[in-house]
Structure 1
Amino acid sequence: MRRLLVVEDDTDLREMVSETLADEGYHVDQAPDGQRGLHLGLTRPYDVLVIDRRLPALDGLDLITRLRARAVAARALMLTALGTVDDRIAGLDAGADDYLAKPFDLDELSARIRALCRRTADATEALRVGAGHLDLAARDAVLADGTRVSLSAREFELLRVLAARPGAVHPRAALRSRVFDEAAAASIVDTYVYYLRRKLGRTVVQTVHGLGYRLGAL
């Protein structure tokens, strides 16, 4: 069952959207403000996030930005009464995958969510890493020539988080929290980047000095 999170401060709209999506077979969680949405987005796995642009406690743009900074890869659909081109660009640049202006038709909302779920499904078997890929079923890295390289659980998870958003720069602290949540020091990220480079080559993870790490290529 696909899991969705609806973050909307308008109670009537939130309930209507959630009930419609639940009737279509989704498991739907609700959040009335950005702070609650951030907590749920960081602690539960979702396929699609439906996020209002203007939220109390934490704005929708800030919410998406913070989730992406913590390497949350769920697809995000932003709802907004702000329908200008600049507003749409701001939403997409923050990390949204789609943008729907209010008022909207529930059938169109459902269709857009189905499309985002298909995009998620297309990425469930493998994540591209340059000319190679990460096999999510076997939990191996596959080089361009087809050679498979076994990874430890932490090596795999670190590379998966990077590959889920290949263009993003991931701060060391965010990677530590996401992959090594019991570790006290962010330096553990550096250690596992070293392990990945030793197994897969120095180009597999790029260092962005002063900021963190970004996916490279096999």
Structure 2
Amino acid sequence: MKDASKLSTAPKVLFVEDDQTLGSLTVRLLGEQFQVRWLRDGWDGLQEALRDGWDVLLIDRGLPSLDGLQIVRRLRAAGDQVPILLLTALSAVQDIVEGLDAGANDYLAKPYDAQELAARLRALSRRTVDHGSEEVAAPLSVGEWLLEPSQRSAQSGYGSRIALSPREFDLLSLLAGNPDRVFGRAELAGGVFDGPANESVVDTYVHYLRKKLGREVIITIQGLGYQIGHS
């Protein structure tokens, strides 16, 4: 039986999923821990998401009217930074990267385990609570590049500026903030992505960063993982 007093303070989750069976089951499983509003249409989901008050958005990638990726992109373009967990039946690395680059904080492939879903939503909801106390990070130096948190970009000493995706910036910042440390791929997956990400995604983002900023920006430590390059 639900405890009404506890539920009134539970994180508010907007759930957008058009599958009737999966949607009703998910709402029932999450209902003990979260305040869940379930919508079945992408456009309706976007309009509701733009209203204040949501702690986490749980959005299916394949939706009628407006797909999940478009919802994420439009929210981020509007400056809305509410945490988003993207549900998808597509589990290839490139599909995952596409969702994260669109602005999703985390992803979960279908079929998913209810306990894992709840754990990821709790982690994302804590990010919402802590967001107001976060300080703007100072610029970080990476060889000839200066990372600028306010613009999520890298600027060279020659004046050129390279835009970075949110995940590219987060990965590079984690490495640059710990210049003497070697990070394993699993550790980077857990530190940059909000759930236990596929480690191949880390390799993909390292490739993207090397392509943009040069191969020396991140070095591979054989058998151990990755470390920021030294100038």
Residue 114 (str. 1) matches residue 122 (str. 2): yes
Residue 97 (str. 1) matches residue 105 (str. 2): yes
Instruction: Calculate the TM-score normalised by the size of structure 2.
Output: 0.55
Shift of 1:55: 0.6
Superposed CA deviations along residues 12-68 of structure 1, whole A, max 9, x for unmatched, are 2112112222212x2111110110100100124211100001111001000100011
5+ unaligned residues in a row in structure 1: which ranges? 132-164, 170-207, 209-218
Question: In the alignment, residue 16 of structure 2 is paired with which amino acid?
Answer: V
Instruction: Calculate the TM-score normalised by the size of structure 1.
Output: 0.58
How many pairs does the alignment contain?
136
Shift of 1:87: 0.4
Residue 21 (str. 1) matches residue 33 (str. 2): no
What is residue 50 of structure 1 aligned with on the other side? Answer: 58
Question: In the alignment, residue 18 of structure 2 is paired with which amino acid?
Answer: D
- SS of 2:13's equivalent? strand
- Hey, what's the Cα distance between the residues in 2 that align with 1:52 and 1:61? 9
- Hey, what's the Cα distance between the residues in 2 that align with 1:55 and 1:92? 18
Residue 75 (str. 1) matches residue 83 (str. 2): yes
Amino-acid identity (%): 46
Is the Cα contact below 8 Å between 1:47 and 1:75 reproduced in 2? Answer: yes
- Hey, what's the Cα distance between the residues in 2 that align with 1:11 and 1:100? 18
- Hey, what's the Cα distance between the residues in 2 that align with 1:20 and 1:167? 39
Relative distance call for 1:166 and 1:110 in structure 2 (3 A) is farther
Relative distance call for 1:19 and 1:68 in structure 2 (3 A) is same
Superposed CA deviations along residues 62-92 of structure 1, whole A, max 9, x for unmatched, are 0100011111111000011000000000000
Question: In the alignment, residue 58 of structure 2 is paired with which amino acid?
Answer: V
Task: Report 1:1-218 matches (<5 A).
Answer: 1=9, 2-24=11-33, 26-124=34-132, 126-131=133-138, 166-167=150-151
- SS of 1:127's equivalent? coil
CA RMSD of aligned residues (A): 2.2
Relative distance call for 1:5 and 1:167 in structure 2 (3 A) is farther
- Hey, what's the Cα distance between the residues in 2 that align with 1:109 and 1:166? 31
- Hey, what's the Cα distance between the residues in 2 that align with 1:67 and 1:45? 14
Relative distance call for 1:16 and 1:69 in structure 2 (3 A) is same
Relative distance call for 1:88 and 1:3 in structure 2 (3 A) is same
- Hey, what's the Cα distance between the residues in 2 that align with 1:46 and 1:16? 21
5+ unaligned residues in a row in structure 2: which ranges? 1-8, 139-148, 154-162, 164-231
Relative distance call for 1:44 and 1:31 in structure 2 (3 A) is farther
- SS of 1:43's equivalent? coil
- Hey, what's the Cα distance between the residues in 1 that align with 2:18 and 2:85? 15
Superposed CA deviations along residues 84-129 of structure 1, whole A, max 9, x for unmatched, are 00000000000100010001111110111111122222223x2323
